[in-house]
Amino acid sequence: MSVYLHDIPLSQALDQLWQLVAGMPFPAAETVPLAEGIIGRTLAAPIWAKISAPHYHASAMDGFAVRAHETNGATQTAPLTLRYGDQTQYVDTGDPLPDWANAVIQIENTEPINANGTLSDALREPYAIRIREATNPWKHVRPMGEDMVATQLVLPAGHVLRPFDLGAIAGSGHHEVSVARRPRVAILPTGSELKPIGVPVYAGDIIEYNSLVLAAQVREWGGEPTRFPITPDRFEAIQATVREAAKDHDLILLNAGSSAGAEDFSASVIESLGEVRVHGVAVRPGHPVIIGSVKAEIRNTKSKVPIIGVPGYPVSAAMTGEIFVKPLLAKWLGKAVELPETIEATLTRKLVSPLGDDDFVRMAVGRVGERVLAAPLTRGAGVISSLVRADGIVVVPTGSQGLAAGSSVQVRLMRPKQAVDQTILAIGSHDMTLDLLAQFLAQKGRRLSSANAGSLGGLIALKRGETHFAGSHLLDPETGEYNVSYIERYLPDVAVELLTLVEREQGLIVQKGNPLGLRDLQDVALQQARFVNRQRGAGTRVLLDWALERGGLSAENIPNYQQEEYTHLAVAAAIASGRADTGLGIAAAAAALDLDFIPLFQERYDLVIPKEFAHSDLLQPLFAVLENKAFKNEVARLRGYSTVKMGNRVAMNISPQ
């Protein structure tokens, strides 16, 4: 069984990588003809202009070439006449000027005349032209070298070619360029539990998509990836695959098996074929990174090929690419690493980090009022969706145990900065219609970024000015009304509008066929059914506690009452996986995972929107979507939903102080 050599700081791990590749030849440059196919390639050598552009004095207009000084004195009332041939000559745009000329008069500002002084039909070669305004030297002329002068630098080495660069290269006299050869990167997924994309999967099977993500990253960063087939967890098989990949690749990414488990062969395979420089980096996510090299015979030459052992968890794998592979490819291509845009933001909640690690934390980012806010997302190394949802990353450096809520942080953006100003932040209760809402808002140029914090969490976020709206379904047991009394209690100083989004069914989600025969919460207690609850402050949790009290039950009567999830779908997933027998949730979540549902309650789910945002340009598309027939139809297709009251404003007697 392999073990970590030891975790070392990220800076030291990168130093080891640079030392490792220092003695290895960079991928060679190659000369290629100018063509659209070279867009995105990196120049291996600078482009110096062979000729000037233009390489002659060129007319910038259709008109007549003249000597500027011979036009002096021409006015509207005292025109001048210039003889065709020795004092003027017709030129089209782009034509070279006659040696004696130094200006061009536009054809529309001339009058062609005959020998007798009358207007002529010979526009291009009249006897003479009459002008009524003087011109200046070099007017309407593109002088030689206006664009580029021979010997001047056109593009530096390391420049990534864009479409319009090809015109500059061609215009400076080149027909081919020297570009860095794309580094060839082998991506080797390993694991007996892995299954290719597109095949049926069962319990214990894992869809192999890390190689897909890594290959896309390599391609985006200028490399040429090769995805190898899945290799099972056998030392000899992995060793053979690595040895084969080393024959014709510049870099090997060995995915999974980099930890310290019984079937983690990466480190021992690398040691058997070369050396391990690093095994374990103090970075989160991505602890078990391996950096080393393997011996290879490349084109009849004995050499070494760098190899990186990439952790198997999806987020760790993707972050390993960003941290180690991206700068290595940039170095080989001779270009600077592209730094992400950054933006200063305020952290919405406390962030706890391990003291000895550089912690890369995914963030949702949006502008609420005058502040840019960053809300931490799910941190699991296996949660690839957190990278999809993330707007940026905050790095909490080693030596820090975290950051306090309200701290100022620098966010490395994963989206264009302008997208931040088009992002609507929603913090509060989870509802499946929010995903549909996000889809329709995207068609209107808005991005909905939602964080599941429960109904009470949403109201608190509104009080702190940290969200544009909150979803809420908090039942007042005394009045039977939803949300109003809680808004009065938690937002006494905030003017809000309360809009109904949907009415929906809440009930018991149970396994297919309802094997325990559950009918209500009394049965849950009697059968001692394993329960999965929502987090404290969630509207569903409030509803459950109210129903238990009404039925003469308490939390102690419900097995696993303290087992919590943050969304209805997570509750359904816990039941579908067998981790729980039942839980309170919405009918649509049960239908999504093909589970049975026992309806118990009909409730109203509202959007709580501060008035300052309700009338802003940012949120106007939201109100348009709530009136959209197609959106209502999509919501109505979800089980247990009613859109009859969608968009209705709920009356409230609230007067903020």
pLDDT band for position 654 (cuts 50, 70, 90): low
Once rounded to an integer, what is the mean pLDDT over residues 591-606?
Answer: 95
Tens-digit pLDDT profile for residues 391-410: 899 999 888 888 988 899 99
pLDDT score, position 339: 84
Cα–chain-centroid distance for residue 63? 52
pLDDT score, position 274: 93
pLDDT score, position 300: 60
- Side chain identity at residue 49, one-letter code: A
* pLDDT for 36 beyond 90: no
Once rounded to an integer, what is the mean pLDDT over residues 224-240?
Answer: 94
Spatial separation of the C-alpha atoms in residues 124 and 62, rounded to whole Å:
10
* Least reliable range by pLDDT among 71-85, 259-273, 537-551: 259-273
pLDDT band for position 1 (cuts 50, 70, 90): very low
Q: Write down the mean pLDDT value for the chain.
A: 90
Closest among 382, 368, 365, 356 to 210, alpha carbons compared: 382
Superfamily of domain 342-416: MoeA, C-terminal, domain IV (2.40.340.10)
Contact 453, 468 (CB under 8 A): no
* Domain range summary for the chain, segments of one domain joined by +: 10-26+182-333, 29-54+146-180, 58-142, 342-416, 440-642
Spatial separation of the C-alpha atoms in residues 358 and 9, rounded to whole Å:
8
Task: List the structure tokens of 517.
Answer: 């025969």
DSSP, residue by residue, 260-276:
SSTT--HHHHHHHHEEE
pLDDT score, position 637: 93
pLDDT band for position 161 (cuts 50, 70, 90): very high
pLDDT score, position 460: 93
pLDDT score, position 2: 41
DSSP, residue by residue, 405-447:
TT-EEEEEESS-HHHHTTEEEEEE---THHHHHHHHHHTTT-E
Spatial separation of the C-alpha atoms in residues 598 and 509, rounded to whole Å:
7
**Regarding beta strands 80-83 and 103-106, do their DSSP bridges make them parallel or antiparallel, or are they unpaired?**
unpaired
pLDDT score, position 487: 95
**Regarding beta strands 358-368 and 283-284, do their DSSP bridges make them parallel or antiparallel, or are they unpaired?**
parallel
Return the DSSP state at 182: P
Tokens 């992002």 belong to: 423
β-pair partners for 450: 426
Residue of 2 and 471 predicted with greater confidence: 471
pLDDT score, position 656: 44
* pLDDT for 413 beyond 90: yes
Entry pTM:
0.77
* Least reliable range by pLDDT among 155-164, 170-179, 382-391, 588-597: 382-391
Tell me the CATH class for 29-54+146-180: alpha beta
* pLDDT for 87 beyond 50: yes
- Side chain identity at residue 253, one-letter code: L
* φ, ψ of residue 520 in degrees (nearest 5): -165, -175
SS3 at position 64: strand
Tens-digit pLDDT profile for residues 144-153: 988 888 999 9
- 10-26+182-333 folds as Molybdenum Cofactor Biosythetic Enzyme; Chain A (3.40.980)
DSSP, residue by residue, 184-246:
EEEEEEB-TTEE-TTS---TT-EE--HHHHHHHHHHHTT-EEEEPPPB-S-HHHHHHHHHHHT
* pLDDT for 657 beyond 70: no
Tell me the CATH class for 58-142: mainly beta
pLDDT score, position 263: 52
pLDDT band for position 262 (cuts 50, 70, 90): very low
- CA angle 339/415/327 to nearest 5° reads 30
Contact 325, 183 (CB under 8 A): no
Residue of 556 and 653 predicted with greater confidence: 556
pLDDT band for position 571 (cuts 50, 70, 90): very high
**Regarding beta strands 128-131 and 110-113, do their DSSP bridges make them parallel or antiparallel, or are they unpaired?**
antiparallel
Tens-digit pLDDT profile for residues 486-544: 999 999 999 999 999 999 999 999 999 999 999 999 999 999 999 999 998 899 999 99
Return the DSSP state at 51: S
pLDDT score, position 314: 87
Once rounded to an integer, what is the mean pLDDT over residues 174-203?
Answer: 92
Task: List the structure tokens of 538.
Answer: 């969630």
pLDDT band for position 140 (cuts 50, 70, 90): very high
* pLDDT for 298 beyond 80: no
Give the CA-trace dihedral at 253, 259, 264, 270, to 10 degrees. Answer: 50
SS3 at position 632: helix
% of the chain beyond a pLDDT of 90? 69
Mapping DSSP onto H, E and C, the string for 497-515 reads: EEEEEEEEEEEEEECCCCC
Once rounded to an integer, what is the mean pLDDT over residues 136-142?
Answer: 95
- Domain 440-642 sits in CATH at 3.40.190.290
Contact 554, 469 (CB under 8 A): no
Helix residue ranges, H only, 464-559: 484-490, 521-527, 539-550
